[in-house]
Amino acid sequence: MVSAIERLPKRQRQQQLTKVIEDNPFITDDELMKRLQVSIQTIRLDRLEMGIPELRERIKLMAEKSYDQVRSLPLHEVIGDVIDLQLDKSGISIFEIRPEHVFSRTKIARGHHIFSQANSLAVAVINDEVALTASADIRFIRSIKLAEKCVAKAFVQSISKGKAKVEVFTYVNDELVFQGNFVIYHSKKEIRSEGGYNHADSD
């Protein structure tokens, strides 16, 4: 039986597909298939026709368009793909849970991977060549399973001389699964003002 949406005019169906992807760039073809109630072949053909790349390529393109470059550590040391970065302000990374990240029996992600994604993003968002985690107050809200995609969002709450406070929220789809408050030590002896940085006169 052909679904109602598959009977929609092609243009209308493709408009819906475009809107869903714009609302959630991290959505997979399988999730699009279920959401729009069409076959996987229809999703792929529509994407190809409209020039919309597959998920992995969309993530890569978003990463290349990141506003700033990580300074505090090499990009490959950030756990997950950094897709947006505004130094000293905010950052977003996406991390897919693969077989090597889970317990073999339960297929539940090992907690240190989830923490590492959030922690490395909290460090990466600091505009300094030297930035280290001083402390972390974390909360795991629910277990994360194999093949789920974790989207971590970091927000710099404050920056003072040598210290920054960063809050990170990790989501699977729209569900909050992890929250962390990080204190990051950095080497700059500067105090932030509204106009940028002012050099501190002393330690």
65 or 89, which is more confident? 89
* Residue 46, domain extent: 5-52
Across 17-21, 40-44, 62-66, 111-115, which has the greatest mean pLDDT? Answer: 111-115
Same domain, 43 and 87: no
Q: Which residue has the higher pLDDT, 105 or 25?
A: 105
User: Does residue 26 lie in a domain region?
Assistant: yes
Give, as one character, the DSSP assignment of residue 108.
B
**Shared domain check, 71 and 115:** yes
Q: What is the CATH number of the domain that holds 29?
A: 1.10.10.10
At 87, which CATH number?
Answer: 3.10.129.10
Based on the fold, state whether residues 178 and 93 are members of the same structural domain: yes
Percentage above 90 pLDDT, the chain: 53
| Rounded distance between C-alpha atoms, residue 36 and residue 38, angstroms | 6
* Distance, C-alpha 135 to centroid of its chain: 22
Is residue 154 located within the same domain as residue 107? yes
Q: Report the pLDDT value the prediction gives residue 174, as an integer from 0 to 100.
A: 87
Q: What is the pLDDT of residue 67?
A: 54
Same domain, 33 and 83: no
Judge if 73 and 173 occupy the same domain: yes
Reported as type and span, the H/E element at residue 10 is: helix 10-23
In this structure, are 71 and 10 located in the same domain? no
Pairing of strands 163-172, 175-186: antiparallel
Q: State the total domains in the chain.
A: 2
Q: How high is the pLDDT of residue 27?
A: 85
Residue 57 forms part of a structural domain? no
Q: What average pLDDT does range 59-72 have in this prediction?
A: 71
Q: Per mean pLDDT, which range of 1-10, 49-58, 92-101 is the poorest?
A: 1-10
Task: Name the range with the highest mean pLDDT among 9-18, 55-64, 73-82.
Answer: 9-18
From the list 100, 55, 105, the residue with the least C-alpha distance to 79 is 100
Where does the pLDDT of residue 73 fall: very low under 50, low under 70, confident under 90, or very high at 90 and above?
A: confident
- Structural domain includes residue 80: yes
The pLDDT score that the predictor gives to residue 100 is 96
Question: pLDDT-derived band of residue 63, with 50, 70 and 90 as boundaries?
Answer: low
Mention every residue, 6+ apart, whose C-beta is less than 8 A from residue 186.
72, 126, 128, 130, 131, 132, 162, 163, 164
Lowest mean pLDDT among 2-11, 89-98, 137-146, 168-177: 2-11
Residues 79 and 167 in one domain: yes
Please report where in the chains the tokens 């959401």 appear, as a residue: 35
Residues 47 and 77 in one domain: no
Rounded mean pLDDT of the chain?
Answer: 85
Let me know if residue 126 belongs to a domain.
yes
> What pLDDT, on the 0 to 100 scale, is given for residue 78?
87
What's the pTM value of the predicted model, to 2 decimals? 0.71
Asked if 199 contacts 190 with a C-beta cutoff of 8 angstroms, the reply is: yes
CB within 8 Å of 149: residues ≥ 6 apart: 26, 28, 94, 95, 96, 97, 172
pLDDT digits 0-9 by tens, 131-164: 999 999 999 999 999 999 999 999 999 998 889 9
Q: Which pLDDT tens digit goes with each residue over 186-197? A: 986 554 433 344
